[in-house]
Amino acid sequence: MDLIPLPHRMERAEGFFELGDGFGIEAGPGTEGTARWLRATLGAATGLALPPKKGDEYDVLHLSVRPGLDAEEYRLVVAPRGVHVQGGSPAGVFWGAQTMLQLLGPDAFRRAPLPGRTWRLPLTEIRDSPRFRWRGVMLDVARHFMPKDGVLRYLDLLAAHKLNVFHFHLTDDQGWRVEIRKYPRLTEVGSWRARTKFGHRASPLWEEKPHGGYYTQDDIREIVAYAAERHITVVPEIDVPGHSQAAIAAYPELGNTDVVDTTALSVWDSWGINPNVLAPTDNTLHFYEGVFEEVLELFPSEFIHVGGDECPKDQWRQSPTAQERIRELGLKDEDGLQGWFIGHFDSWLTARGRRLIGWDEILEGGLAKGAAVSSWRGYAGGVAAARAGHDVVMCPEQQVYLDHRQDAGADEPVPIGFVRTLEDVYRFEPVPAELTPDEARHVLGTQANLWTEVMEDRARVDYQAFPRLAAFAEVAWSGLPAPAERDFAGFERRLAVHYGRLDALGVAYRPPTGPRPWQRRPGVPGRPIDGPPPNR
């Protein structure tokens, strides 16, 4: 049974249960959503109607919530007379159904039945539960916009791998992607740029055509509801106080007007760290309170991500307004000013029953107790945060930034960063060894990040994500041994079957033999970094 991620416990018996035309679903209380999903997906792939049935009939899939199991834990039993999927909550039932789909073979992931197929499940019992509660993927749609149908497709891909957090990076210097009705110029102006750098920021190549797009509020509601049906939480990110040139281009008063002519700024067309950051004024705070008010209406998630990374302080050092604010607040320096800025929204979100999360730079100016940290600059930020009592999501750049290249070969398209092979990702350990058990309890989980500067379309995102995201999903879900002891050869054997599922899903993954001719980008310069990545 070539399942990914690897279940905690499996017992196989001789024989199979075959799904016939009379096969139906008994959906217990709380499992109606999984039954509806199965009729839409498994029904499409098999051509079976999957009608409602009662428990005393043959050929029934029994779905039930079972007290005593952990929330995301499930038990899948395939018996000669029928199939049982039990979960500790509706989410657990859904993950069990995903495992059942894998057992049916790759064609169960198609959208229409193929002729001559028979559908059977091996007689088996599986008991399974996740290692982490936060099993996330960050998708950057600011650098290159992904239309709504592509986002919905990615949610399906996350669900198929039992990943349950979608970190939605919606704003940056290069584009603002969510409709804010109070401030229409954020999308009228901020959602598109006149041209785009092709390749790394040092590249001489440009795509000389406008690029843009945004999600309406109804689009966002649809995305959030679609995710919720798949037991995925959408965590939005609105970047402050750096990575904000698109917002400043739309509303110049948000920038440091006493240092630069912000009316001359446009949405940025290149990559890197941008010097144009938000002004630390009451006007800016009130503006973003208005933004977050609408964001909270759209996203019911516990956490709201505020960025907080890569905020150059040069304009604040030169700004009389910023320097006066530092004196007025009795702060030590510009790092303290950023800490005050983030702290304002930490208090603001806490008062509304939400929790702030940001990149690990938010630690530098002091951090309120309830805030959480996305540790991206290695492990150190996560260690410091956990030791200070903050919850942490481990997503170190050197380990699980999937925009980094997969191989050192010359054919890798637009090579960025360190080489992170499939095996490297499989041997990634999210919990730093130096944490005590009490400190380690602050590690909520882990997340793989997809930054799209050099991913111009859905196929490029597929190539960078897969198959490494399958390895990451197993790290996040399964209780694997220490990295050096993990059975990578066994994972590769199971992955050989999983490629068939990805093919059925239309995923343009990187083949194990290297990129296909149309996946290459000859002549487009990247930014490769030689040697092994630091492990700290």
Alpha-carbon separation of residue 77 from 42, 43, 61, 318 (angstroms): 18, 20, 10, 67
Q: What is the mean pLDDT of the chain?
A: 96
| pLDDT given at position 54 | 83
3-class DSSP state of 65: strand
Provide the 10 A C-beta neighbour count for residue 490.
11
The contacts found for 255-260 with CB under 8 angstroms, 24 or more apart, are 255/279, 255/315, 256/315, 256/316, 256/318, 256/319, 256/321, 256/322, 258/319, 258/320, 258/321, 259/315, 259/318, 259/319, 260/315
CA separation for the pair 58, 26 (Å, rounded)? 11
What token pair was written down for 293? Answer: 């008010």
Mean pLDDT to the nearest integer, 352-380:
91
Mean pLDDT to the nearest integer, 100-124:
96
Alpha-carbon separation of residue 532 from 379, 396, 419, 424, 467 (angstroms): 15, 14, 7, 10, 21
Residues 6+ apart with CB under 8 A from 295: 178, 180, 236, 238, 304
| pLDDT given at position 94 | 98
| pLDDT given at position 75 | 98
pLDDT of residue 57 exceeding 80, the answer is no
Mean pLDDT to the nearest integer, 254-266:
98
| Poorest-pLDDT segment among 264-273, 437-446, 525-534 | 525-534
CA separation for the pair 410, 82 (Å, rounded)? 52
Is the pTM higher than 0.75? The answer reads yes
CA separation for the pair 165, 213 (Å, rounded)? 23
| pLDDT given at position 477 | 98
| pLDDT given at position 369 | 77
Alpha-carbon separation of residue 409 from 390, 405, 412, 413 (angstroms): 40, 9, 6, 10
**506-518 residue pLDDT tens:** 999 999 999 999 9
309-344 burial, b at 16+ Cβ within 10 Å, e below that, comes to: bbbebebbeebeebeebbeeeebeebbbbbbbbbbb
DSSP string, 424-442: HHHT--SS-TTS-HHHHTT
Mean pLDDT to the nearest integer, 100-123:
96
Residues 6+ apart with CB under 8 A from 43: 49, 50
Q: Which residues are catalytic?
A: 172, 243, 310
**70-109 residue pLDDT tens:** 999 999 999 998 999 999 999 999 999 999 999 999 999 9
Q: Say if CB 386 and CB 443 are below 8 A apart.
A: yes
| pLDDT given at position 367 | 77
pLDDT of residue 535 exceeding 80, the answer is no
| Poorest-pLDDT segment among 51-60, 273-282, 356-365, 459-468 | 51-60
DSSP string, 371-415: -EEEE-SSSHHHHHHHHTT--EEE--HHHHBTTS-S-SSTTSSS-
What token pair was written down for 3? Answer: 């399942």
**205-237 residue pLDDT tens:** 999 999 999 999 999 999 999 999 999 999 999
**7-30 residue pLDDT tens:** 999 999 999 999 999 999 999 999
Q: Say if CB 157 and CB 507 are below 8 A apart.
A: yes
Q: Say if CB 175 and CB 267 are below 8 A apart.
A: yes
Mean pLDDT to the nearest integer, 50-62:
87
**421-430 residue pLDDT tens:** 999 999 999 9
Q: Say if CB 347 and CB 399 are below 8 A apart.
A: no
